[in-house]
A = this chain, B = another copy of it.
Amino acid sequence: MSQASSFSNNRAEDDARSTRELIIAESLRCFAESGYDGTSLNDIAAGVGIRRPSLLHHFASKEALYAEVFEKLLADWLEHLDIAVADRALGWAKVELVLNAGFQLFEDTPDYVRMMRREALDGGTHPGIDLAAVLRPLFDAASAYFDAQMEAGVFKRHNSRHLLITGYGAILTYFSDAAFIDGLIDDDALTKEHIAEHRDHVLSFFKSALIG
């Protein structure tokens, strides 16, 4: 009856992986849209086209499912950002590279941003997840980079750690609060055009503050 089982002509393992992935994808959608408490396992199961017990056959518990979705989120982000971070560009070029990579990533997966925001907002409520601990090496490295560039006179002097927090807020908010921003600008904030507009603004604004 379910769509999933109609594919079971293929190898069983393929089907298994596919259903797991469907569950993770639907969970991401639901958790991003309604949060952990606002999402029931029935919601997710219904979105996938199976029953709750079948979902719990693939994941031990709601907590475990949430943790796995979140781990995938972090892994995807770190993978994509590492490419930009690893680039040997210097000065403003590197900042622009990372910001562009971030905007591209967030444009592709706005649900990730909303889920991440909810997690930051909850502040470590979910057991086994320590967002800050994972991101802190990146934070420290970025802070050191800015300090070095400021020391060298490439960037104007700012508090590098607060600069990063400001940037984090400025960029993620556009995606996490898109539904609210829709109402401010009276249009869909997540169109390609509006995102590009915001990206251009953030780039020129930060460049203006860092270089002049």
Contacts and interface: CB of A to CB of B under 8 A. Distances in A.
A130 interface: yes
B162 A169 contact: no
Most buried by B among A35, A38, A136, A161: A35
B162 A197 contact: yes
A184 B139 contact: yes
A52 to B, nearest CB: 18
B132 A180 contact: yes
A105 interface: no
A177 B169 contact: yes
A176 interface: yes
Interface stretch (A62-70, A75-83, A93-101, A120-128): A120-128
Contacts of A132: 180-184
A65 B212 CA distance: 49
Contact of A204 (B120, B158, B183, B212): B158
Given A121-B117, A179-B120, A209-B209, A173 B184 contact: no
Interface in A142-175: 156, 158-159, 161-163, 165-174
Interface of A: 34-38, 114, 117-125, 130-133, 135-136, 139, 156, 158-159, 161-163, 165-174, 176-185, 197-198, 200-202, 204-206, 208-209, 212
28 contacts: A34-B37, A35-B35, A35-B122, A36-B38, A37-B38, A117-B121, A120-B176, A121-B176, A121-B177, A121-B180, A122-B179, A124-B179, A124-B180, A131-B180, A132-B180, A132-B183, A159-B200, A162-B197, A163-B201, A165-B198, A166-B202, A168-B173, A169-B169, A169-B170, A170-B173, A205-B209, A208-B209, A212-B212
